[in-house]
């Protein structure tokens, strides 16, 4: 009987945690800073540790190599990993600010607290030190690598949803900074990066070099394009690779139609570009693709 009571208590705590997290996710996705977006039954249910109406600070915690972690873990293991990150983040942050850590049930979580002393000279350094401590503790206790985003400065009127989306935008710069990075939204915004503009003649030359089987020369041309692209916005770096993928596919259609050649299909390549977390991952993907095309051309 005591065992049954214990199970009931565990289930009650788990249900409460899940319902509370669902409520916090709803707050995070609201497009206004009042409670208009919530149902009447939801307006009072949980006491939260930050004031929705005041200035807020976001720290986004992203699990590196997420697809591999997910593939190697059961659903229960992933839930436990994210639950543990919530506890670690709140314990460390609560030393400085009352906070909530929101499990977005994907590759990232969001730590939220009010900006009490943002004008203080040491505020920025405190945030970066907190991020490093979070990374080190999560790595030590959970054997997980993470990349973190320090979200944008905001006015109290800025919606939580807007802050969240801007933090997600900054996370895409893990593509450039690599695994284990701490990315400051304001530093990226201050750079005023422009989208990469594709030179169609340059693209045509690269594709012709690849499909002619000159793999080393193609890699050299690709590296030159990538150096230029790395000075531009992260989304345009992905778009560059999507353009290359489509152009290569168009030029390989005839060759593919002549037999069963084992090249990565376009949809697989596009999905891999989207799923890649760093430019090193994408570059490795394209080096392999170029070499496979070169071997195919050489065997014809």
List, for residues 123-148, the tens digit of each pLDDT value. 888 999 999 999 999 999 999 999 99
pLDDT (0 to 100) of residue 257? 58
Tokens 């460390």, residue located: 92
The answer as to CATH 3.40.50.2300 being correct for domain 2-191 is no
Which residues, given as ranges, of the chain have pLDDT below 70?
1-10, 32-45, 116-121, 155-157, 254-262, 299-300
Tokens of 105: 């049930």
Q: Side by side, which strands form the sheet with 182-184?
A: 99-103, 108-114, 56-63, 146-150, 182-184
For the chain, what is the largest distance between any 2 Cα atoms, rounded to a whole number of angstroms? 76
Pairing of strands 108-114, 146-150: unpaired
Long-range own/partner contacts, residues 132-139 (CB < 8 A, 24 or more apart):
132/182, 133/92, 134/59, 134/61, 134/88, 134/89, 134/92, 135/180, 135/182, 137/88, 137/92, 138/61, 138/85, 138/88
Contact criterion met (CB below 8 Å) for 148 and 62: yes
Tokens of 141: 């206790």
182 contacts: CB under 8 Å, gap ≥ 6:
128, 131, 132, 135, 147, 148, 149, 150
User: DSSP letter at 100?
Assistant: E
pTM, whole model, 2 decimals? Answer: 0.88
Measuring CA to CA, which residue among 182, 116, 120, 112 is closest to residue 145?
182
Where exactly are the structural domains of the chain? 2-191, 200-298
Tokens of 112: 């939220």
- What's the CA gap between 142 and 55, in Å, rounded? 32
pLDDT (0 to 100) of residue 2? 47
Cβ neighbour number for residue 202 with a 10 Å cutoff: 13
């Amino acid at each position: 009987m005591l065992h049954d009571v214990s199970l009931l208590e565990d289930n009650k705590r788990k249900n409460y945690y899940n319902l509370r997290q669902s409520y916090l996710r709803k707050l995070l996705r609201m497009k206004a800073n009042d409670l208009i977006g919530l149902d009447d039954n939801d307006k009072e249910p949980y006491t939260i540790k930050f004031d929705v109406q005041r200035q807020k600070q976001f720290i986004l915690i992203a699990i590196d190599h997420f697809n591999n972690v997910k593939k190697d873990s059961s659903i229960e293991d992933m839930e436990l990993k994210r639950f543990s990150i919530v506890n670690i983040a709140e314990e460390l942050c609560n030393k400085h600010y009352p906070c909530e850590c929101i499990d977005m049930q994907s590759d990232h979580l969001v730590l939220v607290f009010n900006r009490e002393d943002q004008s203080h000279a040491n505020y920025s350094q405190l945030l970066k030190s907190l991020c490093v401590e979070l990374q080190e503790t999560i790595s030590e206790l959970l054997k997980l690598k993470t990349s973190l985003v320090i979200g944008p400065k905001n006015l109290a009127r800025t919606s939580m949803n807007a802050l969240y989306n801007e933090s997600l935008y900054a996370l895409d710069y893990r593509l450039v900074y690599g695994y284990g990075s701490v990315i400051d939204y304001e530093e990226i915004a201050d750079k005023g990066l422009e989208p990469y503009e594709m030179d169609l003649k340059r693209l045509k030359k690269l594709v012709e070099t690849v499909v002619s089987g000159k793999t080393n020369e193609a890699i050299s041309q690709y590296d030159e394009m990538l150096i230029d692209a790395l000075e531009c916005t992260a989304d345009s770096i992905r778009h560059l690779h999507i353009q290359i993928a489509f152009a290569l596919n168009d030029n390989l259609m005839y060759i593919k139609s002549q037999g069963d050649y084992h090249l990565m299909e376009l949809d697989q390549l596009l999905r891999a570009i989207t799923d890649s977390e760093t430019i090193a991952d994408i570059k490795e993907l394209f080096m392999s693709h170029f070499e496979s095309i070169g071997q195919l051309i050489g065997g014809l």
